[in-house]
Amino acid sequence: MIPVAPAKEPPHFDKRVRKKGLSAIDELVGRKPRLKRPGRRRKKIAAREADIPADAFPPFWRDVLPDMLEAYERRCAYLALYFEHATGSPTIDHVLPKSRVWDQVYEWSNYRLCAALINTKKNDLTSLVDPFEVAEGWFALELVAFQVVRGPKAPPGKAKEIEETLRVLNMPECLKAREEYVTCYERGNIKLSYLERRAPFVASELRRQGRLLKEDS
């Protein structure tokens, strides 16, 4: 896991996501919607916004997934691994879950580009390290089993969040992905520049641990 710089909100986000989402919330709590739309009004399902079930929010955020893929260079914010065009499974993670913070459901600042595997595992946890807040050295890569571990600069005050995050990052599929990148690089099948684009956390850890190939050192 490496630091991720927040991308600027796209100009069309307010129209495509925020306004449509807030109007849908109006309907879900029985208010007159702020926007007109074709079709029947959504059925009231809650007396107040905080009681709307997480799965009842219309997923307008999916409309900006292409923007997020471009803004974040097609890399998962948590794994720092590239999404392939045909076989990748990119999703939008709500860092503050829909089940807990209704007024952030349709906010760009609450979105993280995230692999479906990680998003499912994370679910509605709020105790993970936010990729926008992580600093260099909080996480490291162990190059035998390819697990992410606590880094040399991990702050003691973030111990609980880091441990929770490690449990999410070290699923078997994640270990295998890191192993394949390291193996391909060490065999000379991929260049360092390619590794840095596709798996920058792996590349930075090989560099930090003195494991780069001779020609890249």
**Structural domain includes residue 113:** yes
Does residue 123 carry a pLDDT above 80? no
User: Alpha-carbon distance 215 to 188, whole Å?
Assistant: 11
**Structural domain includes residue 217:** no
**Structural domain includes residue 216:** no
**Structural domain includes residue 2:** no
Residues spanned by the domain of 58: 13-210
**Structural domain includes residue 106:** yes
**Structural domain includes residue 8:** no
Instruction: Give me the amino acid identity at 124.
Output: D
> Into how many domains does the chain fold?
1
Average pLDDT over all residues of the chain = 95
**Structural domain includes residue 82:** yes
* Mean pLDDT computed over 191-208: 97
**Structural domain includes residue 1:** no
Q: What percent of the chain has pLDDT over 70?
A: 100
User: Alpha-carbon distance 25 to 49, whole Å?
Assistant: 7
User: Alpha-carbon distance 53 to 151, whole Å?
Assistant: 37
CB contact at 8 A, 153 and 170: no
